[in-house]
Amino acid sequence: MTFQQALGKSFKISQIQTLIADSLTVFWGDWLELRVRITQVAASGLISPLIYILAFGLGLGSSIKPGTGISGNYNNYLEFLLPGMVALSSMTISFGGTTFSICGDRLFTKNFEELLLVPVHPLALHMGKMLAGVLRGLMTSGSVIFVALLFTRNLNFLNPLFLLILVLNCAVFAGLGVIVGLTVKSLESVGLYNNFVIIPMSFLGATFFDPSTLPAGLKVVVYLLPLTYASLGLRAAAYSPLFQFPWYSVPILLMVAIALSVWGAYQFSHQQD
């Protein structure tokens, strides 16, 4: 290896280390605000999943038997539903918490301009905010996982593959939350994104049903949604043998998270607040 090649490699490693350090610095600023509201954040996204669990899992779900609408890998519909509720709660809080945090800084406290003046790479700004959103999603989904453990006693809800899919799902929707937070002009606009993106995805993202039972046309729509891959991956990690795991869900969620990071970095580099 020539001296120039060694120097170039060392410079690239240094750049990556700086990017990681700057991302963690931005994340730490959000953590200082977040740590005083840990209980509130963990509980804020738990109400809707609990209602769905009671209404669908224990109520309507009692009439859905394995082999009729869901596969025979589950003892009851509640077992089928719980991984979807983990995916749903992580999506909702990762997106909503990140979006409202950035909107609050931009539109109300007016201190977002200070962040834009920080001499760090735009990608580090995005990643720092995204990491804070991931942490919010993990806090809330951790509460849902605790409920799932109480109902099922299935420790696979804590296995590394399950947690990997969960983190990737949080990263995808936290990244989307960063972009929306940078784009919207008012809180009413956030409501539009929630009504036309998040709520439809909540019901169409394979959280309540097995997409393999759908007609071909609807399958196309369902498999375009990133939440579908999170729901399928979490469900397989919790209940299916390793050889049946949909490994394609990992690179798909990772690629979506990377694409959103590139988009978010571009948004930060052109932000004019």
Q: Domain range spanning residue 132?
A: 3-269
Task: Indicate the pTM of the whole model.
Answer: 0.89
**132-162 residue pLDDT tens:** 999 999 988 988 898 889 888 889 899 999 9
Q: Which range among 17-21, 48-52, 106-110 shows the weakest confidence by mean pLDDT?
A: 106-110
Q: Which pLDDT score, from 0 to 100, does residue 33 have? A: 81
Instruction: Identify the residue whose tokens are 């919010």.
Output: 136
Among 168, 178, 159, CA closest to 138? 168
Residue type (1 letter), 56: F
Average pLDDT, the chain: 84
pLDDT of residue 30: 83
Answer yes or no: is pLDDT of 273 > 80: no
Cα 109 from Cα 133, distance rounded (Å)? 19
Per the document, the length of the chain is 273
The set of residues, in sequence order, having a beta carbon less than 8 Å from that of 54 and lying 6+ positions away, is none
Q: How confident is the model at residue 261 (pLDDT cuts 50, 70, 90)?
A: very high
pLDDT-based confidence at residue 63 (cuts at 50, 70, 90)? low
pLDDT attached to residue 6: 47
CA dihedral (155, 160, 162, 166) positive or negative: positive
For the ranges 111-125, 199-213, 244-258, the lowest mean pLDDT is seen at: 111-125
CA distance 217 to 231: 20
Write the Ramachandran bin of 69: left for phi over 0, alpha for psi from -120 to 50, otherwise beta.
left
Find the mean pLDDT for residues 21-28.
87
Cα 273 versus chain centre, distance? 26
Q: Give CA 143 to chain center in angstroms.
A: 15
How many domains does the chain fold into? 1
Beta bridge partners of 66: 70
Confidence of residue 4 (pLDDT cuts 50, 70, 90): very low
Which pLDDT score, from 0 to 100, does residue 70 have? 67
pLDDT the model gives residue 79 = 85
* Tokens representing residue 181 in the block: 């937070």
Residue 70 Rama label (left phi>0; alpha psi -120 to 50; beta):
beta
Out of 35-39, 234-238, 250-254, pick the least confident. 35-39
The answer to whether residues 86 and 148 touch, using CB atoms and an 8 Å cutoff, is yes
